[in-house]
Amino acid sequence: MSMDKSSFREAWRKVRKIIRNADVVLEVLEARNPMGTRSLKLEKLVSRLGKPLILVINKADLVPREIMDEWKNVFEKEYPTIYISARKRLGTTFLWKTIRKVVPGNKPVVKVAVVGYPNVGKSSIINILKGRHSASTSPKAGYTKHVQEYRASRWLKVIDTPGVIPLRESEVTLVLRFALNPEDLSDPVGTACKLIKLGLKLHPEVFKETYKVQSKTPEEILREIALKRGLLLKGGKLNIEEAARIVLRDWINGKLVFYIPPPRSKQSFSNTL
């Protein structure tokens, strides 16, 4: 999803206004790439406005619990942190308790702003807080375009926000952060190859397990996926570009599962590319 400078400024203007009016801010991260889905710009804004911040690592069902515990320990050096699976309704009680714990004073009604990159599951978390499905959800990055406020309980109001997207990032970085739709990429094959290379480094068997392929290089993996799925162009040529988009879509929607390890392993989001 492309975003020009004026749209970028407008999105941040809305986020700034929401945070200013909120009592507490939930920054939603994605369990497969928690550090990469943090927004330091957002966190600095929250700090400058003097609001309590909770880091909520969503989709924790995709990652081993011991890895989630390690990430929690890393982030809690800075902010209260919990991990949950909104999809499987796991850990959601801790979310309610943590919100109550960090809110200053004894406010009768607490306003919570839910912020973060597109497609990390902000709307799903709002649905959890509300206890019913009213917030629109979609696997398409950037789906929430407008500010929406919901009454979650007698004491809690929840504000959904437009997805926060960095303006100056490469396509592969945005994909790794779940913030760019495969259909919007200028080079889906190149981006998919970089993603596959990272996946092979972090989980060598992940493509064999996910796609039943035997190949060991990004280019050959895409060719094998295209061949197995009958993705053909006119003249019988393999449609490698569509195979690339399948891999990228599966990464975005959680069907392709590998994860960035915590810092203890001396690997990070920045040095695994």
Q: Where are the domains of the chain?
A: 5-160, 181-265
What region does 118 belong to: left with phi over 0, alpha with psi -120 to 50, or beta? beta
What CATH number should be reported for the domain whose range is 5-160?
3.40.50.300
Q: What's the token pair of residue 249?
A: 């879509």
Backbone angles phi, psi at 126, to 5 degrees: -60, -45
pTM, to two decimals: 0.87
Query: What's the pLDDT score for residue 221?
Result: 98
> How far apart, in whole angstroms, are the C-alpha atoms of residue 177 and residue 195?
11
Residue 13 has what pLDDT?
85
Q: What pLDDT shows up at residue 252?
A: 93
Identify the H or E element spanning 92.
helix 92-102
Residue whose token pair is 């929690």? 72
Structure confidence at residue 3 (pLDDT)? 55
How large is the greatest C-alpha to C-alpha distance in the chain, in angstroms?
Answer: 70
What's the pLDDT score for residue 169?
79
Nearest to 142 by CA among 167, 173, 117, 160: 117
Q: What CATH architecture does domain 181-265 belong to?
A: Orthogonal Bundle (1.10)
pLDDT at res. 162: 67
Q: What is the pLDDT of residue 129?
A: 83
The C-alpha torsion from 214 through 216 and 220 to 223, rounded to 10°, is 40
Q: C-alpha distances in angstroms, 93 versus 24, 29, 73, 97, 131? A: 17, 18, 19, 6, 12
Angle, helices 92-102 vs 122-130, to 10°: value is 90
Q: Are strands 24-30 and 81-83 parallel, antiparallel or unpaired?
A: unpaired
Q: Across the 273 residues of the chain, what is the mean pLDDT of every consecutive 10-residue run? A: 65 86 94 94 94 96 96 96 91 89 84 90 84 48 61 86 70 87 91 97 97 97 98 94 97 95 62 44
